[in-house]
């Protein structure tokens, strides 16, 4: 039977509901979606897609590091955008962070928590 480990770091926003920042199981890491929250203040960072996407990537990097992995080991991402008109600007930030080009889904959604502009979750190899 595989061991399941809940991952938590103070360097990423704490879960605000009944979920974990990430779960490690079977040599894989599954993160919850990260939004542009500053982990120290709990406030939204930035008012444009690039600034918010940069904070999302910082939060993901912190969760990945806590689990002992990194963005180079991410095999799948799911990206949620408030407005598909932000797709190009989001991709600039995303592409600088995910240089190994994992598989990805990217969809526009009606609303996101705290009315942020983007949210990203990942699956990574440990």
pLDDT tens across 42-70, in order? 999 999 999 999 999 999 999 999 999 99
Domains of the chain in sequence order? 4-125 (3.30.1330.40)
**pLDDT tens by residue, 16-39:** 789 999 999 999 999 999 999 999
Is the predicted pLDDT of residue 1 greater than 80, yes or no?
A: no
Catalytic option among 28, 51, 106, 126: 106
Q: Is 115 helix (H, G, I), strand (E, B) or coil?
A: helix
Whether pTM > 0.85 for this model: the answer is yes
| CA Rg value for the chain | 14
* Alpha-helical segments (H) within the chain: 49-66, 87-97
- Identify whether 118 is a catalytic site residue: no
**Count of CB atoms situated within 10 Å of the CB of 2:** 9
What average pLDDT does the chain have? 97
């Amino acid at each position: 039977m595989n061991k399941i480990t809940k991952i938590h770091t103070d360097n990423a926003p704490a879960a605000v509901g009944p979920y974990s920042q990430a779960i490690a199981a079977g040599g894989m890491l599954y993160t919850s979606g990260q939004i542009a929250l500053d982990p120290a203040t709990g406030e939204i960072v930035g008012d444009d897609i690039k600034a918010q996407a940069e904070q999302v990537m910082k939060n993901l990097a912190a969760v990945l590091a806590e689990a002992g992995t990194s963005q180079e080991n991410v095999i799948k991402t799911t990206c949620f955008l408030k407005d598909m008109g932000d797709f190009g600007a989001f991709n600039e930030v995303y592409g600088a962070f995910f240089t190994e080009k994992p598989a990805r889904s990217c969809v526009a959604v009606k609303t996101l928590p705290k009315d942020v502009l983007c949210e990203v979750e990942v699956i990574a190899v440990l």
